[in-house]
């Protein structure tokens, strides 16, 4: 059956700036249909909205599915599903019909598919019920249901409890949806299908693609587990990976600060099998708000399984950050060929003595929306008698924010240059003495609604 499950989960859906969280990758695989006999029920929508090309393409897709399973079980399309596997057909409109039992005759299965005609409402609950009834509870075969539909439930009971009960019995549910008619409930398909949605739900707006969807699904179901698996997960530049745990199967390597590579030699080759990898990610970038964790995640294996992992999002709360000063631009230097040395003119940058750079951050609390703030930063230096000496003042305008309520605003990287020749510490050392400073901040709104005696300046 190849890869039957793939997922990516986060340990939380919300962090603060600079905090970390855990990411869990999971993968499950099952043996091929020869060593893992499988009973499959195709549940096919024949309601009125399926008339015309949708039903024709559905029939082609279902018959292609049957042919692939036929060949996968014994190596040839000989008209018989082999090695203990079976396929059954259930179709539904206002009510559902067991068009065949779980059988091996390809011609009987195709005849049942060809006989379908469109008309009536859409009763998913009866469809699931009739499909479950086909399975033999005493059979050790893998049990799979493939629900195809193009519309919402318009008749019968709520299908959700029936689908949940089927999954609780160990039945795997795939859902294929045709959304082109505009009536499909995509969330319902996700609720009915086994988890995760990325592995068990396929939705297309174009009925011409149905044959390809059924073909891909049949090939995945008939494949043997997976071997030579390589998963390369790269997180967004807003994050970095700070640790990688030992996976439950295979080995994991930190390629760089944003990329982890997970290799598994084989999975699910002799029995259904799962594997997990957990790693810890830390927020480091300037981004905030709802952020997609993935930059990319690439899967490959020897069997060519098509595997997609979800791309979870996390909310990063950094408040509001303003950076009034940019860092100096670096200058590029290149050494070519076999040069042992290079002379480079970096321009005029005079430094007569050593010194310090103090970089200050300050948070303005509860700044109201749509109002600019005038901010002043003042720094002084203390001598050995605690007398203050002026060292600098900076003023700046903090832009207004447009959030709905008052918010804290963090102003970062306010820099003061403090040359060593201004040192008043009283130490006899020429340089690198312990120097003490004080910082003061003054802030007020620039924009306000104040009027004096009805006279507006």
Give the separation between CA 70 and CA 67, rounded to whole angstroms: 5
Residues 6+ apart with CB under 8 A from 443: 364, 373, 374, 375, 376, 398
Sign of the torsion angle spanned by Cα atoms 65, 66, 67, 68: positive
153-180, pLDDT tens digit by residue? 999 999 999 999 999 999 999 999 998 7
What's the pTM? Answer: 0.53
Residues pairing with 243 in the sheet:
280
Q: What is the 3-state secondary structure (H, E, C) of 224-249?
A: CCEEEEEEEEEECCCEEEEEECCCCC
Could you tell me which of 307, 308, 226, 217 has the C-alpha nearest to residue 268? 226
53-92, pLDDT tens digit by residue? 999 999 999 999 999 888 888 778 889 998 899 999 999 9
Question: What pLDDT score was predicted for residue 199?
Answer: 74
Give the separation between CA 132 and CA 349, rounded to whole angstroms: 80
Residues 6+ apart with CB under 8 A from 305: 2, 3, 220, 223, 226, 299
Helix (H, G, I), strand (E, B) or coil at 271: coil
**Mean of the per-residue pLDDT values for the chain?**
87
Question: What pLDDT score was predicted for residue 220?
Answer: 76
Rounded to an integer, the average pLDDT of 338-344 is 67
Give the separation between CA 252 and CA 229, rounded to whole angstroms: 12
The lowest-confidence range among 196-205, 282-291, 388-397 is 196-205
Give the separation between CA 83 and CA 66, rounded to whole angstroms: 15
Instruction: Judge whether residue 352 has pLDDT over 60.
Output: no
């Amino acid at each position: 059956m190849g890869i039957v499950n793939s997922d990516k989960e986060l340990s939380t859906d919300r962090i603060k700036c600079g905090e970390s969280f855990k990411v869990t990758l999971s993968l499950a695989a099952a043996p091929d249909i020869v060593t893992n006999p499988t009973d499959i029920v195709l549940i096919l929508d024949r309601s009125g909205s399926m008339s015309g090309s949708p039903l024709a393409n559905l029939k082609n897709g279902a018959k292609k599915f049957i042919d692939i399973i036929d060949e996968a079980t014994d190596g040839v399309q000989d008209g018989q599903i082999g090695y203990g596997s079976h396929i059954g057909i259930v179709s539904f409109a206002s009510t559902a019909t067991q068009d065949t039992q779980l059988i091996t005759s390809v011609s009987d299965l195709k005849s049942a598919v060809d006989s379908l005609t469109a008309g009536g409402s859409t009763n998913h609950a009866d469809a699931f019920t009739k499909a479950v009834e086909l399975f033999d509870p005493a059979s050790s075969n893998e049990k799979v249901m493939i629900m195809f539909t193009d519309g919402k439930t318009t008749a019968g009971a709520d299908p959700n409890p029936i689908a949940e009960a089927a999954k609780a019995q160990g039945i795997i549910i795939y859902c294929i949806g045709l959304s082109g008619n505009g009536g499909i409930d995509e969330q319902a398909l996700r609720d009915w299908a086994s988890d995760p949605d990325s592995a068990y739900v396929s939705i297309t707006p174009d009925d011409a693609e149905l044959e390809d969807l059924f073909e891909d699904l049949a090939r995945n179901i008939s494949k043997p587990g997976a071997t030579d698996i390589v998963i390369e997960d790269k997180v967004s530049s807003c994050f970095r990976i700070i640790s990688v745990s030992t996976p439950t199967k295979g080995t994991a390597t930190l390629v760089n600060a944003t990329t982890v590579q997970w290799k598994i030699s084989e999975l699910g080759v002799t029995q259904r099998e799962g594997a997990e990898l957990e790693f810890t990610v830390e927020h480091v970038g300037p981004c905030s708000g709802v952020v997609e964790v993935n930059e990319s995640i690439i899967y490959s294996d020897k069997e060519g399984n098509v595997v997609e992992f979800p791309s979870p999002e996390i909310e990063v709360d950094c408040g509001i950050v303003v950076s009034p000063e940019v860092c100096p631009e670096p200058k590029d230097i290149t050494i070519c060929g076999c040069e042992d040395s290079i002379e480079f003119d970096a321009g005029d940058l005079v430094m007569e003595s050593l010194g310090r750079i103090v970089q200050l951050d300050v948070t303005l609390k509860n700044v109201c929306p749509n109002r600019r703030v005038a901010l002043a930063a003042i720094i002084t230096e203390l001598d050995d008698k605690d007398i203050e000496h002026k060292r600098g003042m900076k003023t700046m305008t903090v832009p207004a924010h447009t959030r709905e309520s008052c918010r804290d605003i963090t102003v970062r990287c306010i820099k003061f240059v403090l040359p060593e020749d201004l040192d008043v510490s009283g130490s006899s050392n020429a340089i690198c003495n312990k120097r003490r400073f004080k910082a003061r901040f003054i802030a007020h709104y620039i924009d306000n609604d104040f009027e004096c005696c009805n006279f507006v300046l």
